[in-house]
Amino acid sequence: MNEIKDDKYTVTYHPDDASVIFGGSLMLNGAPAYEPILNLLKDAAETQEPNPLTLDIRCLQFINSSGINMMTKFVMYISEIKELKLNVTLLSSQHVAWQRKLSTNLQRLMPHLLEKLE
């Protein structure tokens, strides 16, 4: 298990069940502050290929524009830069508007991204 933790958020990679779980509020200042999380996501993707990877954002209460940019960079990294043969599932809440919108935007960049609304 790899974890990045702060008073306001946690991002945890569980290799045994191929999931990255986000919790709390991600309101970091700018792209450099998100680099450790982006690197954790990249490592998880490369470790799991060719097996599926699940990103669970259901417990993520808020993410700022820099965090959304980080998620976009991650999807582009998988599909365009590394061209990983990796299926990604995004678990999100149907009751949280920004999670639905993030999922829709990520699917535009990575059409085979699976979305599971709960």
For the chain, domains (ranges, CATH) are 2-117 (3.30.750.24)
Q: What is the pLDDT of residues 68-99, one digit of tens each?
A: 999 999 999 998 878 888 999 999 998 999 99
pTM: 0.94
State which H helix or E strand residue 21 sits in.
strand 19-26
43 within 8 A of 15, measured Cβ to Cβ: no
Strand ranges of the sheet holding 2-5, from the earlier edge strand across to the other edge: 2-5, 9-14, 19-26, 53-63, 88-92, 114-117
pLDDT in tens, 93-117: 989 999 999 999 999 999 989 999 8
